[in-house]
């Protein structure tokens, strides 16, 4: 895993405020997060030997985040402390089952290609390598190159969206956007056309998360849709990260794409039944149970 590590500042609110408006909200809580840390934790909780490469600040949040990663069983050898810099922070407002998020990257923005090269040995035994876009593109690109050189399956979750050079797309085996990110990348709102364009750019497979509608997927050989099981939604924060981590675990275990997507959809659905991002990630037995019941 090459990715971000944040502290989430979570506030419940009856609705999201409009520009210039102040409303009363609550309750308030903090929880470890960041797309990278969430996906690493999902991999670890679902049975994988997870390794994280990233940066934290030299503040109180950084110390807490490092301890949380270790407690999850994640190898933190590649997590570097950044003197004089704050750790990444995400401000999350939760209204019903929806959320609004602002991220201050902090130390995440300083992860370099050199940092990733320094951890090159951590790619040697990997079955899958996960990436997102909450760290600099140069770090993502270097990680993708190192993984491909070792024939490691590469998975990119393009969030938050930014323009991607062709080189990065050509190094991606599985591209995992949501509907908005898919249309931004392929420059069309038509899902099938977007899938065709991305596959034509060199991406091996595309898996689009669709919230309560589950997920859609396509490769050169097949395409399909996996419906989401019905659950009581408490907070959707982190559900996409849980899905992506679960997808990586399933593919790393040798499951075919359709079954891996089903496993990811079940994990993501369960994450929606609890508050927070990383704290809401389910454990392997409950995902296996829902997977079997949903087949």
Q: What is the CATH number of the domain that holds 27?
A: 3.40.1190.20
Q: Residue 53's pLDDT is what?
A: 98
Is 125 a member of any domain?
Answer: yes
Rounded-to-integer distance, Cα 181 and Cα 198, Å: 12
- Is this model's pTM higher than 0.85 or not? yes
Is 20 a member of any domain?
Answer: yes
Calculate mean pLDDT across residues 200-222: 95
Q: Residue 275's pLDDT is what?
A: 80
Q: Residue 92's pLDDT is what?
A: 85
Rounded-to-integer distance, Cα 46 and Cα 198, Å: 29
Domain count of the chain?
1
Q: Name the residue with tokens 């050169």.
A: 220
Query: By percentage, how much of the chain surpasses pLDDT 70?
Result: 100
* Catalytic residue list: 241
260: confidence class by pLDDT, cuts 50, 70, 90: very high
Is 1 a member of any domain?
Answer: no
Calculate mean pLDDT across residues 260-278: 93
277: domain range? 6-294
Decide if 173 contacts 204 (C-beta within 8 A): yes
95: confidence class by pLDDT, cuts 50, 70, 90: confident
pLDDT at 98 over 80: no
Q: Residue 295's pLDDT is what?
A: 76
């Amino acid at each position: 895993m090459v990715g971000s590590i944040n502290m989430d500042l979570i506030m419940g609110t009856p609705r999201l405020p409009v520009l210039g408006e102040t409303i009363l909200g609550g309750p308030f809580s903090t929880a470890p997060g960041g797309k990278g840390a969430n996906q690493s934790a999902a991999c670890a909780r679902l049975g994988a030997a997870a390794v994280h490469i990233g940066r934290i600040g030299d503040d109180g949040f950084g110390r807490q985040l490092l301890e949380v990663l270790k407690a999850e069983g994640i190898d933190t050898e590649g997590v570097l402390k950044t003197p004089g810099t704050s750790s990444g922070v995400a401000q999350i407002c939760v209204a019903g089952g929806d959320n609004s998020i602002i991220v201050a990257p902090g130390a995440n923005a300083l992860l370099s290609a050199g940092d990733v090269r320094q951890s090159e040995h951590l790619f040697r035994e990997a079955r899958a390598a996960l990436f997102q876009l909450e760290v600099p593109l140069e770090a993502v690109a270097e990680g993708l190159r190192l993984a491909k050189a070792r024939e490691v399956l590469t998975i990119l979750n393009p969030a938050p969206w930014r323009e991607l050079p062709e080189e990065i797309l050509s190094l991606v085996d599985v591209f995992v956007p949501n509907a908005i990110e898919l249309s931004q990348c392929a420059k069309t709102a038509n899902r099938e056309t977007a899938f065709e364009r991305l596959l034509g750019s060199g991406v091996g497979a595309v898996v689009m998360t669709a919230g309560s509608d589950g997920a859609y997927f396509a490769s050169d050989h097949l395409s399909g849709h996996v419906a989401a099981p019905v659950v009581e939604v408490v907070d959707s924060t982190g559900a996409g990260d849980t899905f992506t981590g679960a997808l990586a675990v399933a593919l790393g275990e040798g499951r075919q794409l359709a079954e891996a997507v089903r496993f990811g959809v079940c994990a993501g659905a369960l994450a929606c039944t609890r508050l927070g991002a990383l704290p809401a990630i389910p454990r392997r037995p409950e995902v296996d149970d829902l997977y079997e019941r949903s087949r």
